[in-house]
Each structure stands twice: as C-alpha cells, then as structure tokens.
Amino acid sequence: MKALVSVKRAVDYNVRIQVKPDGSGVVTDGVKHSMNPFDEIAMEEAVRLKEKGVISEIIAVTIGGQKNEETLRTALAFGATRAIHVKEDGEIQPLTAARALAAVFKKESADILLCGKQAIDDDANQTGQMTAALLDIAQATFASKVDIADGKATVIREVDAGLETLEIDLPAVITADLRLNEPRYLKLPDIMKAKRVQIEATNLGDLGVEAAPAIKVTKTAPPPARSKGVMVKTVDELAAMLKQKGLV
Amino acid sequence: MSKILIVADHANGKLNSGVAKVMAVAQAIGGDVDIVVFSDDSKAVAEQAAKINGTAKALTVDNAANANLMGAVLAPQVVALVKGGYTHVLFCGNALGKDTAPRVAALLGVPQVSDIMAVHSATSFDRPTYAGNAITTVECPEGTIVATVRLASFDAVAEDGSASVEAASVSATLPSHTRYQGLQAQKSDRPDLQSAGKVVSGGRALGSSDNFKIIFDFADKIGAGVGASRAAVDSGYVPNDMQVGQTGKIIAPDLYIACGISGAIQHLAGIKDAKVIVAINKDADAPIFEVADIGLVGDLFTLLPELQSKL
C-alpha cells in the first residue's frame, strides 16, 4: 500500500509573529521555519503504519519554492521512502495545492493521503478535504486514531461533541489532529542519511495543474492589543477582583 | 443582490446554536437568506431554523443518508442546491463546517474563506491567520463564495421569526465510501475545554502528574475546564488533548487562569481571546504577565489552595 504525505514548510510555532508595519503581510524573511506541526503528526502516522507493515511506501510531497527542500529532508529523516518537490515560487492557496496533490496522488496510484488538519500559517484547514473532493474519494478529517485493514480505514475523529468513528473505503484522505500521535525525535544518522536521497522535482505545469482562482489578501493587521493588566499582591485582592467582576 | 444559503449544523433534533451566529454574518452581507437542514427527519430542526430572524425559507432535505452529518455526503447535496442560484454558502466554523465547506468549494472550483470574523462587503471579510496573531482582510474572486464563520466573533440574532418551511428537491449522487459508526460523547464531569466559560491551566512548574491534582481540585471548585501548556504535556504530566495553544486548543473562555505557565508564544496564541486572563507565576518577568489582566507573583502551591479557600 502506498501513502502520500503532504508536508508544508511554515513559520515555526515558537516564533513570535510580526505583522509588517505597512500591512502587506507577516515578516517571514530571516524567521525560523519548520515542518507544519500537524504535518509532522501525519508523517509520524505514516511511518508507524509502515512499521506495522500496513504501508510499504511513503512518498512525501511538498509544494513551494527551493527552501521547501528542507521540509522534504525532514520527511525523509522521519522515514519517507521518496520525496517529490512540486516547485512553485508564487503563493500557493489550498485549492491549487489540492489540485497538485490530487494530480500526484493519481500519478502515483496512491492508496491514502495523510496530511495535517491545517497549517499553522494560513490556518485554512482546507487542503485535505479539497483533495478528497477533487479525487471523489472518502475523507476522515481531524483523526485521532487510524486503523487500516482490508481496503478500509476505521478512523476516530475529534468532533465538537466527542469522538466520532467513521469507516471509509480506500483510497482516502486522512487529516491528522493533535491527538493522533506524538512525533518522534529525529536521530542524527537518519538526518544525515536523508541528505543523500535524490528529491524528485516536478511543477504545476508538468502535473497538468492550472492555478485555481485565488483569494486576494488586501491587508494584514495585528490583532487588537489587550489593555494593560494589573498586578495584585495578595490572594485576597485577587479573590475580591474575581468576585467583583462576577467571574467566580 | 446576494442570495445566501446557510447549512445548518444540528444533532439530536436540536439546531446548533452557532447557526444564529452565522445568520449575523449573512445579515451583514445582506440579501435573501435561506437555511437548509439536511437530516433523515428534518422537520423539528427546520422549525427551529425558521424562527431565526432573517430567515427567508427553512429548507429541508430528508434522506436516510443524512441521519448523521458527514462532509463527504453533504457536499454533493450542497453543491446541487447552490447551483440553483446562491451567491454565498455559509457554514458554522466547527468540526462539521470545516469538514464540509472545503469539499463544497473544491467541487464548485472556487476558493474557500475560513473563519470569517468580520464582514466588510459581500465579497470582503476579515479572517485570522497564524492562530489569530495576524488578521487578514481578504477579497474573494468572482464566483460563489463558500465560507465558514468563526462563531466566537458574532452574537446570535434573535429567534422570534416565522419563516416558511419547505422541502427542497436535491438531485445528487451520494457516495457510499463513508460510513458512520458512532459517537463517543465526552464523559468527563468537567466542562469541555473548548466551550467552558472558565478554564484553569497548569504549566511546567507543576513538576509532576501528581501535582496537577492541585489544578483539578481548584477547577472543580469553580466549575472550570482544565488545560495545560505544551511544556506540561511534553513533560508527560497530562495527556495531549489538554494542550492549550497554537498546536493545541484555541479557546475563548470568560476567565482563564494560568498557573505556573511562563507564557510561550505558542501558548499565548491559544488564549488571546479569553475575556479575563489571570496569571499566577513565581517569575515576575514571565511573559504571561504581559497579556494577563490580573497578575499575582508567587508560589502556586501555596497561592492556589489559599485562593480556593476564599472562593
């Protein structure tokens, strides 16, 4: 069974986000980037499925500029067997990403696409679902447990009311939520080995993908600042304030 | 003029309270607004939808396949309805909306707007990115607008209307690749972290899983949900599903009490929308105090039980 795992390079979750003063976007130059944490979870899940013998091949795929190669190296260090770089220097929105992923999925005759439920930069939470729609296959979003057997996946999903279980036929798209697993720490020998793997390059044109109509961002602003708080010296003061505000 | 379709979320015969908030967005856009209820027996829910002010028609689509709502099954039905002439289709920004809206957008070949938090015009909206650290104003291209609504950003409209309830005919081929198996509802006696009005969280300073009892005890005293920082989760004190922050749960309670949490950026991203943030921390220079409305410097192991005894 062949798994495709889509991995996105995003500003690291520990970076304090700075909005550019002219409102044209967020400062990303010279800022630490890493693999989107939810994609790391998807990658870990693929590796665990491979270790269990459910999956035989893991293809990591990313869409973006040259720097995204680092993200593919990380995926290879996790245990991806191959890496595909869809090279595109412009901005990629979810529908275009989904078209590219669907094209790779078909070309590779993959059985499953694993990806994070959302990327922590645009917070769109769309690409997995869109890819499933374009391929006309099943989806299980926000997965916290995945079992695969007999051409089917049983997936426990994190929904508002609790944990929902779906049974889906493969091929399918599964998007990872936080609880699915805890990604392993990468070992130095694996990181070194990953550097030697040949990354397969392609682009939207080669995949026969047309960029989708895009949403235009006209302004980026920081969120409204919180008003300055007060420091209290004693528990009594704190208790009194909480009571006065009607909070307890 | 805009013609807007709201896809209703519901469960156990009850309309989701978010639908009346989505109506607030629809009214800000302006135009005719229909609410559609997909179910195996939609009458009761549709009657609730018909009461939401601003509803032109409450549409029902009854089908055994809609007994439990699933994005992959809903999407082709929503698309069939939208093609009947809607300019906008809106969803609650919750698990169902996020599961369904992108699928609808992809089938229509249009982009999707996630988490509308303000409406500028029929085609321009504000939405959060970077866990709410950057608010973007977006302009949609020509075509149907498919969007989810960030429910925490809007107040529900009143529910004293009396729209008509009509059955809608939808011709769509429904997939058989997705089968609902069941729901295990949260069984905790504590309020759910995501929807709790009060949340108490512990950080690395708790030092151990056993010590976390002090947080649980305090939370139970004031009827709060319990969360944790990533540091506390990574240290193994509490399970991952309690993590509050950019990579965990993003919450907006009325009261958030951070105990022994230094306030890493990724944690702050998850609590920014809390109405009142209280921080208790030994380190007077901890970044958590920069966002706290009320700060108290000191040892949580003595201060928290003391506070508990006084409430």
What single string gives the DSSP state of each residue in A137-174? -EEEEEEEEEEEETTEEEEEEEETTEEEEEEEESSEEE
* 3-class DSSP state of B258: strand
By CA distance, what is B177's nearest residue in A? A169
Within a domain: B114: yes
Within a domain: B53: yes
> Could you tell me if B159 and B214 lie in one domain?
no
CA distance B97 to chain A (A): 11
| Residue closest to A93 by CA, chosen among B134, B121, B79, B106 | B106
> Could you tell me the two tokens for B116?
């509308």
> Could you tell me if B157 and B67 lie in one domain?
yes
Mutation for A interface: B17, B115, B129, most A CBs within 10 A = B129
Residue A72 CA to residue A59 CA, distance in Å, equals 10
pLDDT at position B190:
86
Residue A50 CA to residue A93 CA, distance in Å, equals 30
Q: Which ranges of chain B does DSSP label H, i.e. alpha helix?
A: 19-29, 43-51, 71-82, 95-108, 213-222, 230-234, 265-271, 288-291, 300-310
Question: In chain A, what residues touch B224 (CB-CB under 8 Å)?
Answer: none
Residue in the structure block whose two tokens are 């105990």: B259
Question: In chain A, what residues touch B110 (CB-CB under 8 Å)?
Answer: 95, 212-213
Identify residue B33 by its one-letter amino acid code: V
Q: Residue A139 in contact with residue A146, Cβ under 8 Å?
A: no
pLDDT at position B265:
85
Q: Which of residues 178-197 of B touch A (CB under 8 A)?
A: 178-186, 194-195
Residue B37 CA to residue B50 CA, distance in Å, equals 10
Closest CB from B140, B195, B310 relative to A215: B140
pLDDT digits (tens, 9 = 90+) for B106-134: 999 999 999 999 999 999 999 999 988 99
| Residue closest to A169 by CA, chosen among A126, A197, A137 | A137
CA distances to A47, A119, A126, A196, B204 from A59, rounded to whole Å, are: 11, 19, 21, 16, 37
Q: Residue B81 in contact with residue B107, Cβ under 8 Å?
A: no
pLDDT at position A90:
92
Sites in chain A below the pLDDT cut of 50: none
| CATH number of B227's domain | 3.40.50.1220
Q: At what angle do helices B300-310 and B213-222 cross, to 10 degrees?
A: 20
Prior bond of A171 cis (ω within 30°): yes
> Could you tell me if B156 and B51 lie in one domain?
yes
Within a domain: B88: yes
> Could you tell me if B159 and B219 lie in one domain?
no
By CA distance, what is A169's nearest residue in B? B177
Residue A95 CA to residue B112 CA, distance in Å, equals 8
| CATH number of B54's domain | 3.40.50.620
pLDDT at position A115:
98
> Could you tell me if B118 and B205 lie in one domain?
no
Does A226 contact B265 at a Cβ distance shorter than 8 Å? Answer: no
Within a domain: B113: yes
By CA distance, what is A21's nearest residue in B? B134
Please list, in sequence order, all residues whose beta carbon lies within 8 angstroms of the beta carbon of residue B169, skipping any fewer than 6 positions away.
none
Domain extent, residue A40, equals: 2-244
pLDDT at position B186:
65
Residue in the structure block whose two tokens are 């795992």: A5
Q: Residue B124 in contact with residue A218, Cβ under 8 Å?
A: yes
The count of domains in chain B is 2
pLDDT at position A99:
98
The count of domains in chain A is 1
Rounded to 5 degrees, φ, ψ at B40 are: -90, -15
| CATH number of A32's domain | 3.40.50.620
Residue A211 CA to residue A216 CA, distance in Å, equals 14
B55 touches A at CB < 8 Å: no
Domain extent, residue B232, equals: 198-310
Within a domain: B302: yes
* 3-class DSSP state of B190: coil
> Could you tell me if B116 and B29 lie in one domain?
yes
Sites in chain B below the pLDDT cut of 50: none
> Could you tell me if B296 and B150 lie in one domain?
no
Does A247 contact B248 at a Cβ distance shorter than 8 Å? Answer: no
Q: Residue A113 in contact with residue A106, Cβ under 8 Å?
A: no
CA distances to A24, A225, A231, B213, B275 from A127, rounded to whole Å, are: 24, 31, 44, 40, 32
pLDDT at position B273:
84
| Sign of the Cα pseudo-torsion (A8, A11, A13, A17, in order) | negative
* 3-class DSSP state of A48: helix
> Could you tell me if B19 and B145 lie in one domain?
yes
- The H-or-E segment that residue A232 falls in is strand A230-232
pLDDT at position B194:
77
Q: What is the separation of C-alpha B288 from the centre of its chain, rounded to a whole number of angstroms?
A: 24
Question: In chain A, what residues touch B135 (CB-CB under 8 Å)?
Answer: 220-223
